[in-house]
Amino acid sequence: MSFFGKLIMNKQHGKEKAAGSKIEVFLIPTKIYQEKLLGIVKNAVQEFKGRLLYISLNKPAEKIIETLQKNGVDAGRLLFIDAVTKDIQAGISGQGIVYIPSPQNFDQFNAELSQILEKEKFECFIFDSLSTILLYQPDLAIVKFTHDLITKLIVAHACGKFTCLIEDVNSTLIKDVSMFADEVIDMSEQRQAAVKTYITKKEEAIAKLENELKAIKEAYALKFMSDESYLKSKGRVESKLESLKSKRRNIKY
């Protein structure tokens, strides 16, 4: 089992937490980051009935809303905290966006984020992402900020979902926050398991078709099939086999 697999099994049993709060850290490979992030947001919208907060350090909120809407996610359920847009706007826009400074101006960023968390009622907070915030401040300052943020979530009885790139797994921040979290989810392992299941199903389907093709050839050799029926049946099975084998070759690990 990987280091983070062990972390999943070693929750902070001695740490008392407010009812309803759960802190999760998602480790996501760069290649599938956007895909998995979308899945996390979708699941959160389905899981929670109340409002959700989503802070983005990577993309403008309007772009995120557009992506969610294209994928059938009710973006109206979320209040977006945009820490990316250069032209800072005061207050909340008609689209449900709050604009705050980027973490480059860290004190102001932290202060305005804290004000939002104190003002808004919400059930879940999605933080996108820990990897990005590492670009702005030394590890120790970010660790303190993240601890304070998690404490605020616990006091608010809210869940926290923190994303980060698995490539940053050895950073002080990720290791520290992972130990403080209730669950660490290695999404690369999830993908590998899904790929293995997919391959197994394809192999079973290929074996079944190969047996069917063998039976067709044997039936034709014994004169149980006409030339026309043989060619039609053989062509149908070979076409399916080629399609399945092509899909198997193109699987991305």
Provide the pLDDT for residue 88: 56
Q: Which domains does the chain have, with CATH numbers?
A: 3-8+19-181 (3.40.50.300), 192-249 (no CATH)
Q: b/e for 26-65, b at 16 or more Cβ within 10 A?
A: bbbeeebbeebbbbbbeebbeeeeebbbbbbbbbbbeebb
- Residue pair 4/27 in contact (Cβ under 8 Å)? The answer is yes
What is the pLDDT of the chain when averaged over all its residues? 84
How far, in Å, CA of 49 to CA of 27, rounded?
Answer: 25
pLDDT at 180: 81
Which residues in the chain come in under a pLDDT of 70?
1-20, 86-95, 189-198, 247-253
